[in-house]
Amino acid sequence: MRTVNEIKNIYIEKDLENSLIANNIRERASAEHKISYIDDPKELLSHFRQHGERESKENLLLYSNKGDFFSSCPGTDGMVCCQYFVLNLGQGCLYDCHYCYLQGHLNNSLLSIFGNFEDLFAKIAEHTKNKNIHFRIGTGEYADSLALEPLTGQSTALVNYFSHHPNATLELKTKSSNVEELLDLDHRNNTVVSWSLNPKAIIDLVEEGTASLPERLAAAKKVVEAGYKIGFHLDPLIYFKK
């Protein structure tokens, strides 16, 4: 499985220098990670759009999301909506599943994550507080929920936040085995950790960089023992001959 050691350069927007996620990154980064502070994330995004190597996973940007963090799951035409909501924590994935829409959707090779979590928490509260429905909110839409967790602590911060929101369940979706950071958290049953599964032959062939099937199952066992609910997604289903 690819790890955060693939990342060589970490760029942090200066305005977020003292943020929770920037502190996490400084604490967790190794000597091989070069951290720089930048004034203008747009300039860096534009540079990587024009000059970045398409396949590279070496560059990570932490910056502020000025748009909305929260959206309704787009759903599928003709199907009944299940009221799932998506939290956008950044764009770009450490892994390279051949079928992933991100491969064609993203226009630069920079892994980018959002660090203005105070704004994020305010948005979640705005959407969920004093509403008489149970929200299901997932983060695995534009990136893997746990691939960068050993470096960023984004999901740890969310699990802690959702533990105080009884009318919402957080879903973390992953193809990694990065669960160590989650095991000792007081999650209060408000987080589901889920894995997308496929047969070994498909994982080996088209899910580049992800955890193997036994690694995913071993990680799932650990989070069950830590009291989390888990989920498995059989998605996508790919026909193959044995």
> Between residues 13 and 144, which has the closer beta carbon with respect to ligand SF4?
144
> Between residues 116 and 198, which has the closer beta carbon with respect to ligand SF4?
198
93 binds ligand SF4 (CB under 6 A): yes
**CA-based radius of gyration for the chain:** 18
175 binds ligand SF4 (CB under 6 A): yes
The H or E element containing residue 114 is strand 111-114
Question: For residues 211 and 1, is the Cβ–Cβ distance under 8 A?
Answer: yes
Residue 37 forms beta bridges with which residues?
Answer: 12
CB of 221 vs ligand SF4, minimal distance in Å: 20
> Between residues 15 and 96, which has the closer beta carbon with respect to ligand SF4?
96
Among 144, 158, 193, 213, the residue binding ligand SF4 under the rule CB under 6 A is 144
CB proximity list for 138: less than 8 A, separation 6 or greater: 73, 84, 85, 86, 87, 145, 170, 171, 172, 173
Span interacting with ligand SF4, options 8-16, 82-90, 94-102, 217-225, rule CB under 6 A: 94-102
Among 100, 137, 182, 211, the residue binding ligand SF4 under the rule CB under 6 A is 100
Among 11, 95, 135, 162, the residue binding ligand SF4 under the rule CB under 6 A is 95
Number of residues that bind ligand SF4 (CB under 6 A): 10
> Between residues 122 and 218, which has the closer beta carbon with respect to ligand SF4?
218
Among 16, 25, 97, 202, the residue binding ligand SF4 under the rule CB under 6 A is 97
Interface positions, 194-223, toward ligand SF4 (CB under 6 A): 210
106 binds ligand SF4 (CB under 6 A): no
- H helix intervals, the chain: 20-28, 41-51, 102-105, 117-128, 149-152, 154-162, 200-206, 213-225
6 binds ligand SF4 (CB under 6 A): no
Amino acid at 221: K
CB of 44 vs ligand SF4, minimal distance in Å: 22
The H or E element containing residue 137 is strand 135-138
Helix (H, G, I), strand (E, B) or coil at 61: strand
> Between residues 106 and 159, which has the closer beta carbon with respect to ligand SF4?
106
Question: For residues 127 and 85, is the Cβ–Cβ distance under 8 A?
Answer: yes
> Between residues 165 and 216, which has the closer beta carbon with respect to ligand SF4?
216
Q: How many angstroms separate the Cα of 7 from the Cα of each of 3, 94, 112, 142, 143?
A: 8, 9, 12, 18, 15
Site residues (vs ligand SF4, CB under 6 A): 93, 95-97, 100, 102, 143-144, 175, 210
